Amino acid sequence: MNRIFILTPLITLLIICLFSLVYLLSGKDPSKPPSALLNKDVPIFESSSLYNAKDKIKTKDIKNKKTLINFFASWCSPCKIEHPLFFEIRKKHPELYLLGFNHKDPTSDAKKYLEDDGNPYHFVGVDSDGLIALEFGVFGLPETYLINEDGMIIYKYMGPITKHILENEIEPLL
């Protein structure tokens, strides 16, 4: 009887602590800053094409299609590392819409970069002042977002994506 009296509060406290710990740490990787826009609607944006200023893309244009958004720049070295993977993604998943946002880059440099390394994107939007990146909560390049058909951000990756990330984190969501 005495043992039960001592053990009951201890077990209760342990259960409360475990639940609290799981609740507070759910979905959080302490090594990475949290992604505030994850599982939220894609921000409202409008951007002109890198190749034709009259050609524009808006938030509503990516509704009803799965979209992979990548923020890149010619001056960003890690972007070069992940760049070839986007060709692979496009080949393996032709239904996926690839949208690249060229971030704070002179137009001529961006065009040259895509000419030299190839252009895997269906559309390259210009984000010369960084305001679109700000709406997406970007704070370093490259950053990649996966948007579902309902226009919700279902995945975000900060830094260059790798084959491992592509196969284990992005492709299962496609």
Partner 1 sequence: MKLSRFFKVLYIIILGFVFFTFKIHSAENINERVKKLTLELRCMTCQNQSIYDSDAEFSNDIKKIVKQKLQEGESEGDIKKFLVERYGEYILFRPLMNYNNIFLWSFPFILLIIGLFFVLIKTKGKKI
By beta-carbon proximity to partner 1, the closer residue of 131 and 173 is: 131
CA atoms within 13 A on the CB side of 167: 3
Length of the chain in terms of residues written: 174
Stretch (H or E) spanning 130: none
- The contact mask relative to partner 1 for 114-153 (x = CB under 8 A, - = no) is ----------------x---xxxx-xx-------------
Strands 67-72 and 143-147: antiparallel
- The contact mask relative to partner 1 for 12-51 (x = CB under 8 A, - = no) is xx--x---x---x--------xxxxx-----x--------
CA atoms within 13 A on the CB side of 126: 18
Q: How far is the CB of 34 from partner 1 (least distance, A)?
A: 4
Instruction: List the one residue from 3, 4, 9, 91 that touches partner 1 (CB under 8 A).
Output: 9
94 in Cβ contact with 66 (< 8 Å): no
Instruction: List the one residue from 5, 27, 52, 116 that touches partner 1 (CB under 8 A).
Output: 5
31 contact partners, CB below 8 Å, separation of at least 6: none
By beta-carbon proximity to partner 1, the closer residue of 86 and 103 is: 103
**Judged by CB under 8 A, how many residues of this single chain contact partner 1?**
21
**Measured distance CA(104)–CA(15) in Å, rounded:** 50
Site for partner 1, residues 65 to 104, rule: CB under 8 A: 104
